[in-house]
Structure 1
Amino acid sequence: MKVVISTATTKVFNKKDLVAYFLVAGTGAVVQLISSSLLQDWFGLTFQQSIWPSYLVSLIVGFTLTKLFAFDARRTNQTRREMIKFFMVAIFSGFVTDLFARLSYMISNAYFQTYEFHLPGAKTINVNEMVCYVIGMGFSFMSNYILHKTFTFKSTGFYDRLKNLIED
């Protein structure tokens, strides 16, 4: 007897999930960029200082949208489990974002002149910082997608093992 498993359900990079996740992650990226800009303007944070706080703000939006739309996990009844796993992946991806944003910013400062874009109303955008932030988010997008698809929104048994370890 031959068993056939549909490749659409087993492939990590299927088009539907990838497009949905890209749209959701894009929304999270916009929230992150706006948060970063507001933190810099309102609280006087530097570019580097604003990376983590704005990343954490986008986490809330990211979890909700990812659960509801990206991986069709709205009816799993495992929200607490997914939140813990999502947070673990997000912390890892936060370090990925931070590392690549800072690394590209150092390279940008060493080899390129600073470009600024002036918006009406006296707001100035440092294009170099924005591009470096997008580079960091791009690397984070790749790690997030793979980890959320294969770990966060998939029953792996990890949560149960972690829960048992904590209870002992």
Structure 2
Amino acid sequence: MAEPQNSKIFNAKDLIAYFIVAGTGAVIQLISSSLIQDWFDISWSASIVPSYLVGLIWGFTLTKLFAFNARQSNQTRREMVKFFMVAMVSMVVTKVGADLSYEVVTNYLGYGIYEAKLPFGKKDVNITEMACYIFGQGCSFVSNYILHKTFTFKSTGFYDRLKELIKES
């Protein structure tokens, strides 16, 4: 008996929808990272976490509505808790991937720092940092897709067990 198309982890429809949604979130993160650096005069590395949190709000809504066809699941609260848990893992993956790739690119491969002026920014944007940030986002894209598909937007019983554990405490 053939397995339903949605149950495969890497089915084309979900993967394409998630790529578009995640791409939108990535653009929001990159723009907010640049703005946060400008407005608060902080380093690129320090802007990754706050910009990730900005993208998190957009990400949940877009992912629920468009990526995994969970619009009418009637389990939004459960999905929010699980989404936040996956997002925290993903934030670490993004930060570590970006920081490590920057270290490798600049210190081990010997590439320089390339900068460009954006029309809305006060300072030049470091293209090397931006490319490493995108690499970190790519690492988290893979882990996010798998975790959201198999955990966040799938009923696993985890949320019910978590509620029971909290009640007992």
TM-score, length basis structure 1? 0.94
What value does the CA root-mean-square deviation take over the aligned residues?
A: 1.2
- 2:127 alignment counterpart: 127
Shift, 1:10, TM fit:
1.9
1:105-124 matches, within 5 Å, as 105-110=102-107, 111-120=110-119, 123-124=123-124
Q: Deviations over 1:110-130 (max 9, x none)?
A: 121111123457652211001
Pick aligned residue for 2:18 from 12, 21, 41: 21
- Summarize the Cα distance change of 1:125–1:25 in structure 2 as closer, same or farther, 3 Å threshold: same
Amino acid at match of 2:117: H
- 2:59 alignment counterpart: 62
Aligned residues: 165
- 1:52 alignment counterpart: 49
Asked whether the 8 Å contact 2:38–2:123 carries over to 1, the reply is: no
Q: Quote the Cα distance in structure 2 between the aligned partners of 1:100 and 1:75.
A: 34
Pick aligned residue for 1:37 from 34, 39, 42: 34
Structure 1 gap segments, 5+ residues each: none
Q: Quote the Cα distance in structure 1 between the aligned partners of 2:32 and 2:93.
A: 18
Amino acid at match of 1:140: S
- Summarize the Cα distance change of 1:63–1:120 in structure 2 as closer, same or farther, 3 Å threshold: closer
Which runs of structure 1 show a deviation greater than 4 angstroms over 4 or more consecutive aligned residues?
A: 120-123
Amino acid at match of 1:44: D
Q: Deviations over 1:80-136 (max 9, x none)?
A: 000000000000000000001000111222121111123457652211001000000
- 2:98 alignment counterpart: 101
Q: Quote the Cα distance in structure 2 between the aligned partners of 1:82 and 1:5.
A: 28
Structure 2 gap segments, 5+ residues each: none
- 1:165 alignment counterpart: 165
TM-score, length basis structure 2? 0.94
Percent identity between the two aligned chains: 64
